A and B are shown apart, each in its own frame.
Chain A
């Protein structure tokens, strides 16, 4: 059963370090997403696990066996690419039966395996079609069927949904997770889409500039990211710079720009420390009057977004604040003043980064 371990894996292309000493481990049956912006090294990482590229340094273990030098054909894995690669002259059924055929199974076994794989991913009805006759989503399902029919226990998904329409992507997310879990496969799924990563995976690895920034369960990464970059990349957040003014009863009073104050619970900061306050747009609310943990702000824009309404405000601290209100709450007029209330349970506090806040949050 495939448990995977990477030890000190680095990869250099000439002078460029694509991966820098990456360590990580995953369990058999786990679904892990590798998430990060373009150029973060996520594709390099999955290609090294697949055996398409050798690492410059470090080792790769599958089931405690060092497979660093083993070729891709001998790694027993299913690989699904971003740019859907099917044999164009073969029908869906022939494509699905490719691996069993190469392995020299009997016609009966090939038939049974490809049929089962096509059924699982939902392309049985299109088994006689050529790839060119299928929509993008159906083509990607067919490549999934081919990967599954190989009966590999490890499925590597390299941006499998990126080439598809947004709406189709959402459908296939459900299908992917269902499939991996129902078959008890181990899966690694590379994506730049944080929502996709969170909805398919048991655990998400956030990468940036060739390094792992943070690893955690989706809810953990969203609710309590340990890192500023994660807080911004995995869902949107508001960030306000401040300084710790005082600490009492385990609560820190933070001074923001313009002598405004917020109280934050659960914290390990010290007095005088420069900090960044982070909070999700849905954890802010608007009130007509001043109250605890509130800052006055002017509504610059209010926009219907479906189940929520996104308000953009300019606070007295000078910061821009995004506030998401449930649609159906009383309408907020642009140009009016309001008080933005910070829910203390959801405020996150980070030491102010030495490289500057803008640099720490940069998306590319």
Chain B
């Protein structure tokens, strides 16, 4: 294709303008506004006391145990759920790839967790683990409420996260599995390579790019965890993730200054995670956009 004429450029920009302007107005502008607000003492309950205080909000957030605890909580949930999802996702993907019968049924039922509203799924788990209405305590012969203890509550939160998002991981991995040439695997089989050898020496290396992209997106997604924790514990028992700290500061307590500092710090965490993946694993995100 040619480099394009001036008329073509104009048409292209015209077509892109509404979407780009919307995206920038609703993300970039509020993000900058967040950065600005984070430099002020600004509590909506006492709007008259608004004043510029420099980095004091950041000092307050970074000096509080709540922030570090919630960051640790978020990282625990993110790491545990993404790691387990990758394993389980591979099992599911291989099943969908190899299953001779019922492939359609498997795919359809796996899309149910993907499509269901997160809050609804979390409600189901909350009722299931409830000592009076639930069936799980009876099934496991337990007495106490699992959601009332810190580590078991983490277990339930991670379980809810895994249940909901493994199908997405599995579908991405399935897409990667179809990239592995079938005759290569057959040749390796003829040469005497076992199933595990074939998986680790052929399938896995060929899927590297797909796996890293899936991990990046799932990690960033898990890091924003909010809905399920809100429903399951509302952050009680020391399970509060960073998003909930942000929400509580901004919307519940209406402290826009301090809350904005939390928001900016969460944004920085996300940038750091993305950079670690992009630099560390060498994802070539831009390469995919080339034709």
Q: Do A and B bind each other?
A: no
A residues adjacent to B (C-beta < 8 A): none
